[in-house]
Amino acid sequence: MAGIRVENIVKLFGKVRALNGVSLEVRDQEFVVLLGPSGCGKTTLLRIIAGLEHADTGRVFIGGRDVTALPPRSRRIAMVFQNYAVFPHLTVYENIAFGLRMQKASPERVRAQVDRAATLMHIEGLLGRYPAQLSGGQRQRVAVARALAVEPEVLLMDEPLSNLDALLRLEMRAELKRLLAESRTTTLYVTHDQVEAMSLADRIAVMSTGNVVQYDVPMKIYQEPADTFVGGFIGSPPMNFLRLPVEGAQAKIQTLTLDLPAAPQGREVLLGVRPEDLEAHPQPQPQSFPAEVLVVEPLGPHLLLTLAYEGQHLKVTVPPDFEARPGQTLWLRPQPGRLRWHDPGSGEALT
Ligand code: ATP
């Protein structure tokens, strides 16, 4: 077992700066998710760690060993890709054994490792089948078993669930979490799906245009986004950002004044607040401000309201039996302790 460390990785593709000096550490046995929108550099970083791509500058360490100059086969890693290419002409057993045979492992070791990986993935009953005789989820498990069979120090996964349909994807997400927790293999997992990231990760590294913009445990990323990009990317619907005037060290929402942790650069500040952290009331309340209901969307477990406050839109979630209709005025009370303040220029959180 081993951790991963990358230091100051820069990667250019022609004029495109795919990675802009990325440093990141994944601890031994940790499950870290690289999360970010399409094109932010996730796959490139993973491929550099795997040795499939070379960085222009920077170093890669696996288990404390500098592997920057080593080819993929000498890095003790295993990868599971998006299309989880299982070989159609090989049985499940031979698919799982593939990496071991490439390593010229002894027949005893092949058997022992295939059994171990198949048991871990709960596919020991499928070893004689061919991939065409498996469901998508079972095929996915074969791909993970094949990766784990070689006992890699580090497992790298690139959107391994993205080819599955929505329901299976949800099932496999929970499965994968359980199975990988059992295997205790250090894992770096790429996705652009924030729910998948929140669900699986010990820590999430949020990436934007070639940089890691925040690296922390999921709840911290959700509750205390480092900037408006992270707050807007994580959460569905995302965090609201309300532009408010500042007087001294306070922000004003109509008659409501809220203390700021620090003075922003200019005369305005962004209030970051999650849709579930604004309490809606039909009547005026202390510490509340009025907003007009624009849209009411029943989503099952809650209603999603879109409201307007002085021309700015806000999303608020309320219980399913809450009565609201377009045109109505509601009073919104921000939950103290749940408010985030950001600089409107840089988007960065004020601390
Ligand atoms: P996605 O979620 O769409 O896979 P990503 O975050 O994994 O995106 P990368 O595939 O790492 O992003 O790409 C980062 C940037 O580098 C993008 O602008 C991409 O167009 C560019 N890029 C990646 N590979 C190459 C390549 N082989 N040649 C040229 N440009 C590339």
DSSP letters, 55-124, are: -SEEEEEETTEE-TTS-GGGS-EEEE-TT----TTS-HHHHHHHHHHHTT--HHHHHHHHHHHHHHTT-G
Residues 225 and 286 in one domain: no
Domain assignment of residue 321, yes or no: yes
If DSSP codes are grouped into helix, strand and coil, which group holds residue 225? coil
Domain assignment of residue 324, yes or no: yes
Residues 188 and 286 in one domain: no
Report the mean per-residue pLDDT for the chain. Answer: 93
Nearest CA among 4, 33, 6 for reference residue 153 = 4
pLDDT of residue 299: 93
Structure tokens at 14: 């022609």
- Expressed in angstroms and rounded, the spacing between residue 46 Cα and the centre of ligand 1 is 11
Between 166 and 305, the more confident residue is 305
- Expressed in angstroms and rounded, the spacing between residue 11 Cα and the centre of ligand 1 is 10
Q: Assess whether pLDDT exceeds 70 at residue 84.
A: no
Sign of CA dihedral 263, 265, 267, 270: negative
For residue 11, which atom of ligand 1 is closest to its CA? 16
Domain assignment of residue 102, yes or no: yes
Burial of 16 (0-12, 13-18, 19+ CB in 10 A): exposed
Q: How far apart are CA 239 and CA 228, in angstroms?
A: 8
Domain assignment of residue 16, yes or no: yes
The last residue of a domain, from among 232, 262, 287: 232
Number of structural domains (the chain) is 2
Domain assignment of residue 111, yes or no: yes
pLDDT of residue 1: 59
Q: How far apart are CA 317 and CA 320, in angstroms?
A: 9
Q: How far apart are CA 81 and CA 69, in angstroms?
A: 23
Q: How far apart are CA 252 and CA 246, in angstroms?
A: 6
pLDDT band at residue 168 under the 50/70/90 scheme? confident
136 C-beta closer than 6 A to ligand 1: no
The CATH number of the domain where 291 resides is what?
A: 2.40.50.140
Which position has the token pair 């979490």?
177
Residues 228 and 241 in one domain: no
Q: Assess whether pLDDT exceeds 90 at residue 59.
A: yes
Structure tokens at 150: 């070689």
Residue 336 — left, alpha, or beta (φ > 0 → left; ψ -120 to 50 → alpha)? beta
User: According to the 3-state scheme, what is the secondary structure of 243-282?
Assistant: EEEEECCEEEECCEEEECCCCCCCCEEEEEECHHHEEEEC
Structure tokens at 328: 């109505």
217 C-beta closer than 6 A to ligand 1: no
The beta strand positions in 172-230, using DSSP E, are 186-191, 203-208, 211-216
- Expressed in angstroms and rounded, the spacing between residue 208 Cα and the centre of ligand 1 is 12
16 C-beta closer than 6 A to ligand 1: yes
The last residue of a domain, from among 170, 203, 232: 232
Between 169 and 98, the more confident residue is 98
Residues 246 and 206 in one domain: no
Residues 34 and 79: beta-carbon distance below 8 Å:
no
Domain assignment of residue 349, yes or no: no
Residues 87 and 126 in one domain: yes
- Max Cα–Cα distance, the chain, nearest Å: 77
40 C-beta closer than 6 A to ligand 1: yes
Q: How far apart are CA 349 and CA 326, in angstroms?
A: 33
Residues 278 and 190 in one domain: no
Residues 28 and 117 in one domain: yes
Determine the average pLDDT of the residues in 307-312. Answer: 96
CA–chain centroid gap for 80, Å, is 17
Percent of the chain topping pLDDT 70? 99
Eight-class DSSP state of 328: -
Residues 167 and 153 in one domain: yes
Residues 263 and 184 in one domain: no
> For residue 19, which amino acid is it?
L
Q: At what angle do helices 92-102 and 136-149 cross, to 10 degrees?
A: 20
Between 11 and 79, the more confident residue is 11
pLDDT of residue 121: 82
Domain assignment of residue 348, yes or no: no
Nearest CA among 68, 42, 308 for reference residue 158 = 42
Q: Assess whether pLDDT exceeds 80 at residue 163.
A: no
Residues 149 and 280 in one domain: no
- Expressed in angstroms and rounded, the spacing between residue 16 Cα and the centre of ligand 1 is 9
Q: How far apart are CA 57 and CA 31, in angstroms?
A: 26
- Expressed in angstroms and rounded, the spacing between residue 58 Cα and the centre of ligand 1 is 18
Residues 311 and 180 in one domain: no
The last residue of a domain, from among 181, 198, 232: 232
- For atom 17 of ligand 1, which residue has the closest CA? 39
Q: How far apart are CA 185 and CA 1, in angstroms?
A: 7
Residues 133 and 147 in one domain: yes
Q: ipTM value, please give it.
A: 0.95
Eight-class DSSP state of 133: G
The CATH number of the domain where 191 resides is what?
A: 3.40.50.300
Weakest-pLDDT range from 46-55, 200-209, 234-243, 257-266:
257-266
pLDDT of residue 62: 96
Residues 254 and 310: beta-carbon distance below 8 Å:
no
The whole domain housing 253 covers 237-342
Domain assignment of residue 351, yes or no: no
Residues 60 and 66: beta-carbon distance below 8 Å:
yes
If DSSP codes are grouped into helix, strand and coil, which group holds residue 339? coil
Determine the average pLDDT of the residues in 106-114. Answer: 95
